Amino acid sequence: MMKHDGKWAREIVEFQRGDGTWGPYFHTLSQPVSGKPLTTEQALRRLRALGFTSGDEPVRKAVDYMTACLRGERKMDDYWEKTHNWGLYTKLMLSAWVRIFEPDNAPATDFARRWAKVIEEAFSGGAYDQAVYMRAYEDEFSWKPRGCREIDFVSFYPLSLLKGVLAPETEGRMLDYVLSRPGGIYYVCNKPLNAPPKAFASREASFYLAALEILAGYDTAREKLGFAVDWLMANRDENGRWDMGPKANDGVYFPLSDSWRKAEERVADCTERISGFLRKIGF
């Protein structure tokens, strides 16, 4: 609750517009730039890191706005990217964010089930088949995928969207594929997830943890992420706490406390985040 009232939360909440959005644009997951307005995605990602849920008014307003867009009751104010089906991609973004905060939301879950059909087909042969994925995508959405955002599903949005809508066997195969993919998860971590970073006290390790946090919401996460638990346990200090170092302060996932001037505040934040991840996968 202190973080809800802390300076980082106040800085974000005070700029929320009446319709539940931030700034002139919805989309971009890049790190905020000083002097430029927040996008709605940047604000939501930071509020989530600070522990905000759909029970908090700023998130509630944003979820209501996104749900109205999914229902066609509102039009999302944003630029239009011509390189791919921006209307479809918008539904993917909105549905993913809504399900992050409200997993049972009806229009977002309906879209998730449509995406799940594509993934079920892609892994139906026992392993991922790119050609099958492309055909299933075209059949389901009446659009031939083009560009990396459509051809490669291993990114923040599909992986945030698909929790709870895949058959267990498909989910397990998908997580195996994601963990071994050389490029990691697009938008989050560009390194293979089955090889933890060598430097624990680093920004790289924080981004790596962010990728694991996405996968933590899947039913098979406890089984698949045991190696990551070993990595975390091996990096505890003598008091059973964690310190990812001052370079982990990226303005996105850290800090949680108002300041990291004292090492104790940094250790408390790192320990809180990692403990939450471990609880989420049942450790």
- pLDDT band at residue 150 using 50, 70 and 90 as cut-offs: confident
pLDDT score at 34: 63
- For the segment 36-67, what is each residue's pLDDT rounded down to a tens digit? 678 999 999 999 999 999 999 999 999 999 99
pLDDT score at 75: 87
Alpha-carbon 106 to chain mean position: 20
pLDDT higher than threshold 60 for residue 202: yes
**What is the C-alpha R_g of the chain?**
19
| Residues 52/65, Cβ–Cβ less than 8 Å | no
- For the segment 211-246, what is each residue's pLDDT rounded down to a tens digit? 999 999 999 999 999 999 999 999 999 999 999 999
Q: Which of the residue ranges 20-29, 88-97, 254-263, 271-280 would you say has the lowest mean pLDDT?
A: 20-29
The residues, any chain, with a CB within 8 Å of residue 235's CB and separated by 6 or more, are: 200, 242
Residue appearing with tokens 């390189």: 83
Same domain, 182 and 208: no
Chosen domain end from 162, 187, 212? 187
What φ, ψ does residue 189 adopt, rounded to 5°? -145, 125
Alpha-carbon distances, residue 91 vs 80, 114, 121, 210 (angstroms): 13, 11, 21, 23
Residue 265 located in a structural domain: yes
CA dist 38 and 70 (Å) reads 22
pLDDT-above-90 percentage for the chain: 83
Residue appearing with tokens 């104010």: 77
Q: Which of the residue ranges 49-58, 125-134, 144-153, 261-270 would you say has the lowest mean pLDDT?
A: 144-153
Q: Higher pLDDT residue, 146 or 192? A: 192
Chosen domain end from 187, 208, 232? 187
In one-letter notation, the amino acid at residue 283 is: F
pLDDT higher than threshold 60 for residue 140: yes
Number of domains in the chain: 3
Q: How many CB atoms lie within 10 A of CB 235?
A: 16
pLDDT score at 83: 64
pLDDT score at 144: 86
pLDDT higher than threshold 70 for residue 148: no
| Residues 186/155, Cβ–Cβ less than 8 Å | yes
Same domain, 147 and 207: no
- For the segment 3-28, what is each residue's pLDDT rounded down to a tens digit? 778 999 999 999 999 999 998 889 88
Q: Is the pTM of this model over 0.85?
A: yes
Chosen domain end from 134, 169, 187? 187
Q: Higher pLDDT residue, 28 or 81? A: 28
Domain hosting residue 205, numbered range: 194-283
Q: Is the peptide bond before 158 cis (omega within 30 degrees of 0)?
A: no
Same domain, 176 and 200: no
Residue 94 located in a structural domain: no
CA dist 233 and 189 (Å) reads 21
How far apart are the two ends of the chain, measured CA to CA in Å?
24
Q: Which of the residue ranges 15-24, 141-150, 164-173 would you say has the lowest mean pLDDT?
A: 141-150
Same domain, 130 and 206: no
The residues, any chain, with a CB within 8 Å of residue 55's CB and separated by 6 or more, are: none
Q: How many CB atoms lie within 10 A of CB 192?
A: 15
Alpha-carbon distances, residue 86 vs 17, 92, 100, 143, 185 (angstroms): 24, 10, 21, 11, 21
| Residues 61/20, Cβ–Cβ less than 8 Å | yes
